[in-house]
């Protein structure tokens, strides 16, 4: 690395001291003697200065150019090889998928134009949540986030969870949406059961029927309009058997239902770029989640107050 820096530095400054003619003295600076070839003027020559700086003067320019070119080619070759071999799977915004055995839809005949959907009742049975905080400096500690609780969320209604800040509302919704991800510093431990229609529900089934709206709207891209945001979300999240026209139509229907027609062609914006209002951003975040017709919609502080909502069977 030091050698590369040396060659880069040499390529920029050697021409100043030696010049293009590659003369015996190079550039001659303010020598007090009239005869520039006098030995005492050697201290004022470019070659002497380059030698005192340990700069290479023989073919140094071409040598530095070759080193820089080889470095650039090697860097791009290494980057191309890394991009070709390292594959990243992006599935965070994929469509909801369920197994045939894990469905909440009542089977119908092939002649039926619409499926009849059974109501979904969500229940908590002695559901509790603890987090184990680990550190390399001290002994790990276990903190109780949610004490054992029992609750039922009825279908077709807005179920509201109220409580002061820090009471565990967000943790409860994250547990229902299977969004509790353990790390090296913290490990979540849940107990009890979550039921759907009085039957124990697996994590896969919960994720397939649930959509989650977080507290903030950071997931929205500020450079897109409201129409573009919903259109791109529909094309990424809706199933592949739907055509592009059907996905765009679904995005437009949701946009109208959420009352976003007047701001459809306005930018979402952020702190540095003026865009739609905070309430409109909230509705856009909700609209991106209801594109897939979720059976259960979890809203975390959707009204900017300490309220968490669970909406079941919104359609």
Coil, helix or strand for 238? coil
Domain boundaries of the chain, sorted by first residue:
2-85, 122-312
Q: What is the pLDDT of residues 254-287, one digit of tens each?
A: 999 988 888 888 899 888 888 888 888 889 989 9
Check pLDDT > 60 for residue 60: no
| 129 exposure class (CB count in 10 Å sphere: 0-12, 13-18, 19+) | buried
Q: Give the CA distances from residue 263 to residues 221, 243, 252, in Å, rounded to whole numbers and listed in that order.
A: 15, 26, 13
Query: Residue 212, Cβ neighbours under 10 Å: how many?
Result: 18
Structure token pair of residue 20: 């293009």
Kindly state which CATH superfamily the domain 122-312 is placed in.
Answer: P-loop containing nucleotide triphosphate hydrolases (3.40.50.300)
CB 176 within 8 A of CB 154: no
CA 167/CA 163 separation, integer angstroms: 6
How many whole angstroms separate alpha carbon 69 and alpha carbon 157? 67
Q: Report the interhelical angle of 278-289 vs 226-237 (nearest 10°).
A: 20
Element (H, E) at 9: helix 2-18
The 10s digit of each residue's pLDDT in 122-163 is: 888 999 999 888 877 777 788 888 899 898 888 888 888 888
Q: Distance between CA atoms of 198 and 62, rounded to whole angstroms? A: 79
Q: What is the pTM of this model?
A: 0.57
């Amino acid at each position: 690395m030091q050698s590369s820096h040396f060659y880069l530095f040499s390529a920029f400054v050697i021409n100043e001291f030696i010049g293009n003619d590659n003369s015996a003295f190079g550039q001659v600076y303010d020598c007090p003697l009239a005869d520039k070839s006098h030995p005492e003027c050697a201290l004022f020559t470019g070659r002497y200065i380059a030698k005192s700086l340990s700069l290479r003067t023989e073919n140094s320019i071409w040598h530095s150019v070759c080193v820089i070119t080889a470095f650039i080619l090697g860097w791009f070759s290494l980057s191309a090889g890394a991009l070709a071999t390292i594959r990243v799977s992006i599935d965070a915004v994929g469509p909801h998928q369920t197994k045939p055995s894990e469905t909440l839809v009542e089977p119908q005949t092939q002649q039926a134009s619409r499926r009849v959907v059974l109501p979904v009742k969500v229940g908590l049975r002695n559901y509790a949540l603890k987090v184990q905080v680990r550190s390399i400096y001290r002994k790990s500690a276990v903190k109780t986030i949610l004490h054992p609780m029992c609750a039922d969320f009825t279908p077709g209604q807005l179920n509201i969870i109220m409580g002061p800040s820090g009471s565990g509302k967000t943790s409860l919704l994250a547990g229902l949406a299977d969004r509790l991800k353990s790390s090296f510093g913290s490990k979540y431990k849940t107990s009890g059961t979550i039921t759907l229609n009085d039957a124990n529900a697996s994590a896969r089934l919960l994720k397939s029927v649930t959509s989650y709206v977080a507290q903030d709207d950071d997931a929205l891209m500020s450079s897109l309009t409201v129409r573009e945001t919903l259109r791109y979300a529909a094309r990424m999240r809706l199933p592949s058997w739907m055509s592009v026209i059907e996905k765009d139509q679904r995005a437009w229907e949701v946009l109208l239902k959420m009352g976003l027609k007047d701001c459809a062609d306005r930018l979402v914006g952020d702190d540095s770029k003026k865009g739609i209002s905070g309430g409109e951003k909230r509705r856009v975040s909700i609209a991106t989640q209801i594109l897939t017709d979720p059976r259960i919609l979890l809203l975390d502080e959707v009204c900017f107050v300490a309220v968490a909502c669970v909406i079941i069977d919104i359609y």
